[in-house]
């Protein structure tokens, strides 16, 4: 039986472990923290429960597939509920738009707010999104690449993407389809998930818009941390082992071939391994565990996504009935705000912000009569921007003023603010939780590979490698790493 050590019990590592254990490998997951989840962690304070990582969940079938790989049915361990609306969008002029779960209801929402022409355009827009998704998913997202030539291994798919305009820019593609500028923002802000402005992102990233606004946004009973908890239980049920409080400090190699032989833990003990999956942020993984190797160019000199300030708040009082689980507050500025953030390395002068209210869907997230809030503002990563040792206080005051003006309760009982400095202390390069931006030169086969050929048996999973950033993508990255190991060890994926 082959033995695989997975370093890190975040979503990518747990996904890899589910697939590996389900395929018959002996699996050990090492995690330096005391609970699973990695960035998808959990914090409790004064009776409030905060999810410290991703707040928006799409593509639940990928969670079901990952659990299924370990022989576990999702319905037995995790309950997901579709949010309706997926989002409430609030604009600087005071108007609002909701994104209902039903396509016909979304069309009606657009008709009422923007008129019949844009409502009709919505149907054509969804058709376009579905075609993009169909052309991209299996051939360009859910697959391993060995060389850039793999891009033309499916010439029909590539030609179809060209016909669909996938290699144009997302912002102009959306503007061509709708007249109402509010819809331009609603259907293109997702580019920021890829670390880019809508006018810089390739139109192929409209698949994120498709996941968000068509396939829907979901929320687990018990909060987002219920996902890694379910995956960890599945790993153990499939025969894998998870060791918490275990920090890997060295990759051990064979003297004859240089291939992986195991890992050394911070306490000095060693664990044998035929293969190792590394899930720390790639620059950190190379620096700490592969210091003798020169990292790939994209890791060293690539374009990294902006960061974010996240403010977790436990407040007295319940939110008003018109406030949704996810609320996007768009600033008046748009292009200039992205220019400041992405090109000038400055705080957005008129920022757009996401406010998530977990207690809206999970009463257990807050004490009776109280609310849990998650406030996110995009900010530059640590290559530029303010000094967060002094800027955190003023940022808190601005966010507090914003929440109060937007009608949220602000009688604070518990709080935790996370700045780029905190992300960096947590092991994220340049203080960004969003890793390498999805520029064309950092997408698909041009993204850092998930196999380190100079050390046979070392593989990667997570947002820095293929296919990229976001909960769906890192779950896929775990499967792709498991596929690589199957090929390396001669067992193959099942």
- Tell me the pLDDT tens digit for each residue of 229-246: 999 999 999 999 999 999
Count of the separate structural domains present in the chain: 3
Mean pLDDT over residues 164-184, rounded? Answer: 97
- Tell me the pLDDT tens digit for each residue of 337-349: 999 999 999 999 9
Residue 317 neighbours by CB under 8 Å, 6+ apart: 369, 370, 371, 409, 411
Residue 247 has a pLDDT of 97
Q: Are 297 and 442 part of one and the same domain?
A: yes
Q: Are 151 and 170 part of one and the same domain?
A: yes
pLDDT greater than 70 at residue 493:
no
In a domain, 30, yes or no: yes
Q: Are 17 and 162 part of one and the same domain?
A: no
Q: Are 263 and 379 part of one and the same domain?
A: no
pLDDT greater than 90 at residue 167:
yes
Q: Are 328 and 417 part of one and the same domain?
A: yes
pLDDT band at 139 (very low <50, low <70, confident <90, very high): confident
CATH number of the domain where residue 466 is located? 3.50.50.60
Q: Which of 408, 429, 450 is the last residue of a domain?
A: 429
pLDDT greater than 50 at residue 494:
no
Q: Which of 164, 180, 213 is the last residue of a domain?
A: 213
- Tell me the pLDDT tens digit for each residue of 317-328: 999 999 999 999
**Dihedral over alpha carbons 139, 475, 227, 52 (to 10 degrees):** -120
Q: Are 68 and 181 part of one and the same domain?
A: no
Q: Are 338 and 405 part of one and the same domain?
A: yes
Q: Are 397 and 332 part of one and the same domain?
A: yes
Q: Which of 429, 447, 467 is the last residue of a domain?
A: 429
Phi, psi of 363 (to 5 degrees): -55, -25
Q: Which residue reads 């994104």 in tokens?
A: 99
Q: Are 166 and 235 part of one and the same domain?
A: no
From residue 460, give the alpha-carbon distance in Å to each of 12, 186, 278, 457.
9, 34, 5, 10
Mean pLDDT over residues 420-443, rounded? Answer: 97
| Distance (Å, whole) CA 296 – CA 377 | 30
pLDDT band at 492 (very low <50, low <70, confident <90, very high): low
Q: Which residue reads 């941390």 in tokens?
A: 225
Q: Are 385 and 419 part of one and the same domain?
A: yes
Q: Are 36 and 228 in contact (CB under 8 A)?
A: yes
In a domain, 133, yes or no: yes
Burial 402-431 (b: 16+ CB within 10 A, else e): bbeeeebbbeebbbebbbbbbbbebbbbbb
- Tell me the pLDDT tens digit for each residue of 246-298: 999 999 999 999 999 999 999 999 999 999 999 999 999 999 999 999 999 99
Q: Are 183 and 167 part of one and the same domain?
A: yes
Q: Are 67 and 152 part of one and the same domain?
A: no
In a domain, 49, yes or no: no
Q: Supply the range of the domain harboring residue 443.
A: 3-40+57-80+222-302+438-489
- Average pLDDT over the chain, rounded to whole? 96
């Amino acid at each position: 039986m082959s033995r695989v050590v997975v370093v890190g019990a975040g979503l990518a590592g747990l996904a890899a472990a589910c697939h590996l254990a389900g395929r018959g490998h002996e699996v050990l997951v090492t995690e330096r923290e005391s609970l699973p989840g990695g960035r998808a962690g959990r914090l409790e304070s004064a009776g409030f429960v905060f999810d410290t990582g991703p707040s928006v969940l799409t593509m639940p079938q990928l969670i079901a597939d990952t659990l299924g790989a370990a022989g576990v049915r999702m319905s037995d361990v995790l309950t997901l509920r579709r949010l309706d609306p997926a989002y409430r969008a609030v604009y600087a002029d005071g108007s609002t738009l909701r994104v209902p779960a039903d396509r016909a209801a979304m069309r009606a929402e657009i008709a009422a707010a923007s008129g019949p022409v844009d409502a009709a355009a919505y149907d054509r827009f969804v058709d376009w999104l579905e075609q993009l998704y169909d052309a991209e998913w299996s051939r360009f997202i859910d697959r391993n690449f060995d060389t850039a030539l793999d891009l033309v291994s499916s010439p029909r798919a590539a030609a179809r993407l060209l016909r669909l305009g996938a290699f144009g820019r997302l912002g102009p593609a959306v503007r061509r389809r709708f007249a109402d500028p509010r819809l331009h923002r609603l259907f293109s802000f997702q580019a920021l998930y890829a670390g880019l402005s809508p006018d810089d992102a390739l139109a192929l990233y409209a698949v994120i818009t498709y996941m968000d606004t068509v396939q829907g946004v979901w929320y687990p009973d018990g909060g987002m941390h219920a996902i890694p908890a379910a995956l960890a239980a599945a790993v153990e049920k499939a025969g894998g082992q998870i060791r918490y409080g275990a920090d890997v400090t060295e990759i051990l190699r064979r003297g004859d071939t240089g291939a992986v032989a195991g890992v050394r833990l911070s306490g000095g003990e060693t664990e044998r391994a035929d293969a190792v999956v590394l899930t720390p942020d790639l620059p950190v993984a190379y620096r700490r565990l592969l210091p003798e190797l020169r990292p790939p160019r994209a890791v060293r000199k690539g374009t990294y996504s902006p960061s974010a300030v996240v403010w977790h708040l436990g407040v007295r009082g319940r939110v008003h009935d018109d406030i949704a689980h996810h609320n996007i507050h768009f600033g008046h500025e748009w292009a200039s705000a992205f220019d400041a953030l992405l090109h000038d390395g400055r705080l957005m002068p008129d920022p757009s912000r996401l406010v998530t209210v977990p207690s809206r869907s999970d009463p257990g997230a807050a004490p009776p009569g109280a609310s849990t809030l998650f406030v996110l503002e995009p900010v530059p990563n640590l290559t530029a921007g303010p000094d967060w040792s002094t800027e955190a206080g003023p940022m808190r005051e601005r966010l507090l003023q914003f929440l109060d003006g937007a009608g949220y309760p602000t009688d604070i009982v518990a709080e935790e603010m996370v700045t780029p400095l905190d992300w960096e202390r947590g092991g994220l390069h340049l203080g960004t939780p969003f890793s390498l931006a999805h520029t064309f030169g950092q997408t698909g086969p041009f993204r850092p590979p998930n196999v380190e050929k100079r050390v046979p048996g070392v593989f990667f999973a997570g947002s820095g490698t293929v296919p990229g950033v976001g909960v769906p993508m890192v779950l896929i990255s775990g499967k792709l790493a498991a596929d690589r190991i199957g090929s390396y060890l001669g067992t193959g994926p099942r």
